[in-house]
Amino acid sequence: MFKQSFLPIEHKEIQILILGSLPGDKSIHEQQYYAHPQNRFWKLMQHIFNKTAPLSYPQKLDLLLENQIGLWDVCARAKRKGSMDLDIVEEIPNDLPHFISQHPRLETIIFNGQKAHHVYEKHFTKSEHYQYYTLPSTSPANARYSLEKLLQEWSLLLKKD
């Protein structure tokens, strides 16, 4: 069954673009990025940007945008049984070159996990104008990374001092 990506979370001033692979079933059902309660993405963002109170989904998106961070997926559509990245096949990518060209302040592209990076490299060529980083996936399937270990890795790129 084909599953589809969401619209990007963005504005013209983003400096960082975080790319996932494709929304999981819970995210698709909720129509929200990283909606699975065990996905650590939003917990990481709240820790990195010192937000302790629970945030609504619109507040989570605002948190990213306030920090000049955009969010999207490499895959526009793909076949996938369940929510595991390993099961993504027949992917059709989003038009990332066009998206990137529309964001003149963009400097850094971060892949949320290996699958997002792999699919990007399969369909696109990296540009010397951007820095690219592949960070450990925030998915609950990436059990070998604790929240603390993810926080260490992700904070290096996102924390503004």
- The residues carrying an active-site annotation are 39
Burial of 12 (0-12, 13-18, 19+ CB in 10 A): exposed
- Going by their DSSP bridges, the two strands 2-4 and 75-79 should be labelled as antiparallel
Written as one letter, the residue type at 73 is D
Reported as half-sphere exposure (CB side, CA atoms, 13 A), residue 20 has a value of 26
CA 18 to chain centre: 4
